[in-house]
Chain A
Amino acid sequence: MQQFIFAFLIGGAICVIGQLLMDVFKFTPAHMTVTLVVSGAILGGLGLYEPLIKFAGAGASVPISSFGNSLVKGALTEAERTGLVGVLTGIFEVTSAGISSAIIFAFLASLIFKPKG
């Protein structure tokens, strides 16, 4: 139960950071998501994002910043095993599920549905 509360609080807080970037610093949504992803990647590289996921669960793994973290994590784990080439081969290892399912279901949706206003 506690995990749900932390997920709500941390997830909400990350969304507020995004909202503030848009409102106060006048970022477009694209600039804002890019900033979050790069921050997530940097935090992942420093090893600070994993503890956050341990603490907040989906509150840290559902926001887009975890995408950056997963990319770095995939690259680093693979680099550990195969050396420098691993950085290239491992980048999409962890995020594959997210990207593939997004592409597949978005394409399926475009086959079935018509745009709604």
Chain B
Amino acid sequence: MSDKSKKKLTPTQQEYQAFAKRREPKRPVFKNSLKAFLVGGIICTIGQGFQWFYMTFFDFTETTAGNPTVATMIILSVILTSLGVYDHIAQWAGGGTIVPVTGFANTLASAALDHRSEGFVLGVGGNMFKIAGPVITYGVFSAFIIGLIAVALKALGGM
């Protein structure tokens, strides 16, 4: 809570805020990080396995193998989400399951499933990007700005 909003509170409320803060369970930062490292690392290793598979058995190079790899990971993630397995892993692993691209697919699929009862157009169609939207919005906007900067630098003979 910022200092600005603290000033508006009465002394009793401030006292309570301090009390609640002391009672708040400390987050086990190290344990959480270790879990995130293990699960995130395993997910990336599985991805590396698929990449190796596509490079060895199909005509993909190191750079083009990324596409089928990501698509396969997304299919797996959607299936696991539909079966209710992914969220169980996510509860344990935290950032380890949110950061990989499988977490992106998980937010899409779980939002689509959750809002199914509201109908297929307004429920599924309208809410699918409810959680995944920020990633796309900020990703596209920052890519646009960076693209503009790069083009401008090139026009000025910088790059």
Which of A's residues lie within 8 Å of B, judged by CB?
Answer: 3-4, 7-24, 29-30, 32-34, 36-38, 41-42, 44-45, 53-54, 57-59, 61-68, 70-72, 74-76, 79, 83-84, 86-88, 90-91, 94, 97-99, 101-103, 105-117
Q: Can you name the residue of chain B whose Cβ is closest to the Cβ of A35?
A: B138
Instruction: List the B side residues contacting A99 at CB < 8 Å.
Output: 136
Pair A115/B114 contact, Cβ less than 8 Å = yes
Least distance between B36 CB and chain A CB atoms (Å): 4
CA distance A114 to B135 in the complex (A): 26
Least distance between A44 CB and chain B CB atoms (Å): 7
CA distance A43 to B113 in the complex (A): 34
Q: Can you name the residue of chain B whose Cβ is closest to the Cβ of A28?
A: B134
Q: Can you name the residue of chain B whose Cβ is closest to the Cβ of A31?
A: B134
When A63-B40, A116-B84 are in contact, do A109 and B147 touch as well, CB less than 8 Å? no
User: Which 9 A-B residue pairs are closest in the complex by CB-CB distance?
Assistant: A11-B44, A15-B40, A12-B41, A116-B84, A19-B95, A58-B47, A71-B143, A87-B147, A75-B147
CA distance A74 to B66 in the complex (A): 14
Q: Besides the contacts A23-B29, A99-B136, what 7 more A-B pairs have beta carbons closer than 8 Å? A: A7-B44, A19-B33, A59-B47, A79-B151, A98-B70, A98-B101, A113-B82
Instruction: List the A side residues contacting B142 at CB < 8 Å.
Output: 37-38, 41-42, 68, 71-72
Question: What is the predominant secondary structure among interface residues of chain B facing chain A?
Answer: helix
Least distance between A75 CB and chain B CB atoms (Å): 4
Least distance between A1 CB and chain B CB atoms (Å): 10
Pair B146/A41 contact, Cβ less than 8 Å = yes
Q: Can you name the residue of chain B whose Cβ is closest to the Cβ of A45?
A: B146
CA distance A8 to B27 in the complex (A): 25
A-B contact pairs, 7 of them (CB 8 A): A8-B45, A11-B44, A62-B73, A63-B99, A76-B147, A105-B75, A109-B113
